[in-house]
Amino acid sequence: AQSVTQLGSHVSVSEGALVLLRCNYSSSVPPYLFWYVQYPNQGLQLLLKYTSAATLVKGINGFEAEFKKSETSFHLTKPSAHMSDAAEYFCAVSWMDSSYKLIFGSGTRLLVRP
């Protein structure tokens, strides 16, 4: 079955440190891939998406993600964390043969220490 896995329900980094949030999918067919962010008491908003163009995708707020087909991964990174990055991050995937419905990972809460 097609699925998406986020490793680590909580990630804590110091302000200024590298942010790395992990996402892996299970499918023999490369999907469309997304990262969404949820700030407290808000809905989800799109950070970035991969749609089979460049494998390194740049998003908003300095985030980027790299699609690696051989590793079935789409990890999210940011070189230097800011306090305002504290939020919950969701990886999501969709496939053409499932009518492009999004399947979400379980989420990773990013904590940024001063």
Partner 1 sequence: DADVTQTPRNRITKTGKRIMLECSQTKGHDRMYWYRQDPGLGLRLIYYSFDVKDINKGEISDGYSVSRQAQAKFSLSLESAIPNQTALYFCATSGDLGANVLTFGAGSRLTVL
- d(C-alpha 29, C-alpha 16), whole Å: 36
- d(C-alpha 61, C-alpha 84), whole Å: 10
Rounded to the nearest whole angstrom, what is the least distance from the CB of residue 21 to partner 1 in the complex?
Answer: 13
Among 43, 56, 69, 70, binds partner 1 (CB under 8 A): 43
- d(C-alpha 42, C-alpha 77), whole Å: 22
- d(C-alpha 46, C-alpha 33), whole Å: 11
The reply on whether position 32 binds partner 1 by CB under 8 A is: yes
Query: Closest CB to partner 1 among 70 and 99?
Result: 99
- Binding residues for partner 1, rule: CB under 8 A, are 6, 9, 32, 34, 36, 41-46, 49, 51, 90, 94, 96, 99-107
